[in-house]
Amino acid sequence: MAECGATVEGLALEAGRFIARVEGRNLTVCVLGLGYVGLPLALDLARAGFAVVGCDSSPAVLDSLAARRSPLAHIADAALEALWPRFFAVAPAAGRAPAADVYLICVPTPLSPSGAPDMGAVIEAAELIGPSLTRGALVALESTVYPGATAEVVRPRLEQLSGLRAGRDFALAHAPERQNPGGDGGEQSRRRLVGADSHAEREMAIGLYRTFAEPTAVESLATAEAAKLSENVFRLVNIALANELAATFRGMGLDPWAVARAAATKPFGFMPFAAGPGVGGHCIPIDPVYLTWRAEGMGLSLPLVDAARDIVGRRPAEVCAEVLAALPPRADGDRGRVLVVGAAYKRNVGDARHSPAVEIIEILDGAGCETAYCDPFVPQLEAGGRLLSAAPVDEALARDWDAVVIVTDHDRVDHAAFLRAAPLVFDTRNVLAGVAGAGARVVQV
């Protein structure tokens, strides 16, 4: 949207007052959605000195927070206890969000059953904020969306329900989340993008975000939306390339991990990505679809992205094919007992959303295997319509298995110990490289 002089002037006075209140920590921030994005954000704001009210519709989340217990494995209870006088959580009441000066939307943006973007939670959040929105407020969407979504989906609902206009009466921004669960929380995770369609709106959003992060202003809502999708499409394509190269080099009799380490010695023009059993989490399996869906609706195509999705999407089935081919035949017709080590989508977190472990378990079950899993971060896992409980590692090691499949490389798990549990260990993460005595019992997949 081109900047309009009257619109910018109308919000400029409010922007000055807003920034003064930010500097004095004299405003209330409402964070809608207290999951992997919203809860860390709420705690960052509380540490920065703001009064923060979290808003979530999940009774389990609200009960946990009320008891000062973190609902997320990577956030300590002590962090909540230390900030509780400044941060508390409530459910939306009477169809509206709590009164606040800032509203930050951190709700999920999954895919619908048909594979299209599901903006339902974003719409619901906007419709909660609208009746509570006041002149001079800031609304920022952190959820990942397709280019144009903030202006086309969020803005009209806020304006209709509040009677106010974005860019004139309140500021609307897109500040795409960059949470990295299991990361070190250092400088890289603090670098944020903030996009808005007018100078005054950008100034208000940057004024808030610089109190707890290192924001960079970009020229529009859509630029920020597209940049976030570009970040995760980049990761998807390079992970797909790493898997394709790994399969090719194995076929040539080479160690793909050794090749990757050698290439990574180049100090410029190369960035290492690891092959693995597939991708998971709330970003890489989902976000590229938001871009391809939007592009297709505009008569555009992204064949490279489509090919990358296909490559990584095949990985769980390819892993299972190697496992099933290696299992010895049994007289009773069963395919054997297989232990899956690791259910989270990445190391050192408890998030199993879209984890390749789920599909691996389902495929092996469907082929007639008896399966179990162990993961100290994921106590329960839904796979194949069943709710599974993790086997304690010590208990799993005490049993005999026909094969072990290492899916997630948690630091606290002694993966070498599983060499004693089965004649074959399928290592999708290269965690057993260099382990003495591994030999032919370890299969790289």
Is pLDDT of 31 > 70? yes
- Report CA torsion sign: 284, 285, 291, 292: positive
**CB-based contacts of 393: which residues, under 8 Å, 6+ apart?**
374, 376, 413, 414, 417
DSSP output for 265-305: T-SSS-------S---SSSTTTHHHHHHHHHHHTT---HHH
Sign of the alpha-carbon torsion through 43, 44, 49, 55 = negative
Tell whether domain 310-444 is in CATH 3.30.1280.10.
no
pLDDT at position 329: 79
pLDDT confidence of residue 9:
62
Q: CA 84 to CA 148: how far, in whole Å?
A: 36
Q: How far apart are CA 151 and CA 328, in angstroms?
A: 58
Residue 72's nearest CA partner among 144, 175, 179, 176 is 179
Residue numbers annotated as active site: 283
Which strand (E) or helix (H) includes residue 250?
helix 221-251
DSSP bridge pairs for 354: none
DSSP 391: P
Higher per-residue confidence, 9 vs 122 = 122
Note the pLDDT of residue 184: 56
Question: Is the per-residue pLDDT at 6 higher than 60?
Answer: no
Residues of the chain with pLDDT > 70, as a percent, come to 96
The CA-based angle 111-117-123, given to 5 degrees, is: 105
Rounded distance between C-alpha atoms, residue 194 and residue 218, angstroms:
6
pLDDT band at 332, cuts 50/70/90? confident
DSSP 328: P
- Residue of 191, 192, 142, 136 whose CA lies nearest to 168: 136
Task: Report pLDDT for 100.
Answer: 98
Angle, CA 330 vertex, CA 324 and CA 331 arms, to 5° = 150
Residue 90: burial class (beta carbons within 10 Å; 0-12, 13-18, 19+): middle
pLDDT digits (tens, 9 = 90+) for 244-277: 999 999 999 999 999 999 999 999 999 999 999 9
Ordered alpha helix ranges (H), 91-220 = 120-129, 149, 155-162, 187-190, 199-209
pLDDT range class, residue 220, cuts 50, 70, 90: very high
Q: How far apart are CA 196 and CA 174, in angstroms?
A: 6
Fold of 5-219: Rossmann fold (3.40.50)
Count of other CB atoms within 10 angstroms of residue 293: 14
Task: Give the pLDDT score at 72.
Answer: 87
Q: Are 52 and 39 in contact (CB under 8 A)?
A: no
124/120 Cα distance (integer angstroms): 6
**Residue owning tokens 């693995």:** 276
Indicate the pTM of the whole model: 0.92
- Nearest alpha-carbon partner for 340 in 393, 405, 398, 277: 405
- H or E element at residue 218: strand 214-218
Q: Length of the chain, please?
A: 445
- Whether pLDDT at 438 is above 80: no
Q: What are phi and psi of 442, to 5 degrees?
A: -100, 130
For residue 3, pLDDT over 50 is answered with no
Q: Where are the domains of the chain?
A: 5-219, 310-444
Mean pLDDT over the full length of the chain: 93
Rounded Cα distance, 133 and 140, in Å: 12
**Domains 5-219 and 310-444 equal at CATH topology level:** yes
Confidence of residue 217 (pLDDT cuts 50, 70, 90): very high
Average pLDDT for residues 76-100, to the nearest whole number? 91
